[in-house]
Amino acid sequence: MKAAPSLLAAVLLLAAPARSYVLWGTSLGPRNHPFYIDATFPIVCSGTVQDQVGAMLLATQEWGKSGGADFRYMFMGLATYPYPPGASVLVMGTSCVGYPMATGYFATCMFGNIPFDASGSPPLGTFDLQGSSVHQMGHALGLGHTNVPGCSMFTQSIDALDFRTIEADDIAGIQAIYGPVPAGTPVLDYLGLPFTGETIELRLGNTVGPALVLLDPAPGPTVVPGIGTLEVGGSPALIYLPYFAPQSMPIPLPSNPALIGTNWYMHALVLNGTSVALSNPFHLAIPY
C-alpha cells in the first residue's frame, strides 16, 4: 500500500538533511593568500592587543589546519592605513563583515558595541574573538551562512566558542570553492602564534618521507637546477631543517626583541621516490 502523498512528503522532509553550505560565488587568490592585520582600530575586547591579534591568527589557521582545501591564509605582518597596494587586510573594530574585494578583502570582527573576549572563557554577553574571527574569515573565503547547527558558518551562536572549529559542512564548502589539496602535493604551514617566546608547530603534510625545510629572512627567488624556484633567498642566516613527513616539528621562538617585525620565508624540498618535489612556499611574520 502506497503512503498518502502528504504523509510521504512529511517523511521525506524529516529525513532530508539540513541545508548545507552556501557559496557567495567569490573566492580569494592566490591559494597561499597573503594578508595583514591592522590592530590600530579600537575594539571592545578583553586582553592585550597581542592577545587579540593572536586570536585572529589562530582563527585563520583553523581553515588551513582542518579544511583540507587547496588554500592557506598566509600572515604577512601588521599594517596600518594606507595599506600596501592590493593588500588583503583584517581590520579590527569597525563592523562585523567579511567580504572579498577587487583589491583584497577586509574582514572585521565586531557587532556594534558588543564586547569580545580573548581569554577562551567569554563571560555572559560577550563573544569569543577567535570563534567570531573563524566565522568572518569563512565569509572572506566565499562562504555564506549555513543552516546546519554547530558549524562555524551557522547563522547564530550564544558566544561563538562553537565557531572555533570548522565542521564537515564548513569543510565541504571550502573544498567546493578551492578544491581539495591535490594528491601527492606537499603542504607546508605552521600552527601556533608567531610571537617571540612562543612555540610554533611546523607542519609538512600530504606526503610521507624525508624532506628538507628551509627558512630564511631573505626572500627568493633562488633557482635550484632540476628542481625549481625557492622562495628563500640563500642568505647567511638560511636555516636547514631535516624533516620526516608527516610528523610535526615544534620550533620555539626565543624572546628576542631583534626578532620582532622580522619575516621568514619557508619552503620544503621533499624526496618523492627518486625525485625531489617542492612544497608550496609559505611565510612566517613575527609581529610581537
Local structure of 136: helix, strand or coil: helix
- pLDDT at position 71: 96
pLDDT at 9: 42
Q: Which residue has the higher pLDDT, 15 or 183?
A: 183
- Report the candidate in 72, 98, 87 with the shortest Cα–Cα distance to residue 36: 87
> 89: which 3 cell numbers?
587586510
CB atoms within 10 A of CB 246: 15
Query: What's the whole-number mean pLDDT along residues 83-112?
Result: 63
Structural domains of the chain in order of their starting residue, each with its CATH number: 32-178 (3.40.390.10), 187-285 (2.60.40.10)
Chain segment 131-175, per-residue pLDDT in tens: 999 998 998 899 999 999 999 999 989 999 999 999 999 999 999
Return the residue matching grid coordinates 633567498. 233
Predicted confidence (pLDDT) per residue in 56-91, tens digit = 999 999 999 999 999 999 999 999 888 887 788 888
Dist. CA 78–CA 95, nearest whole Å = 19
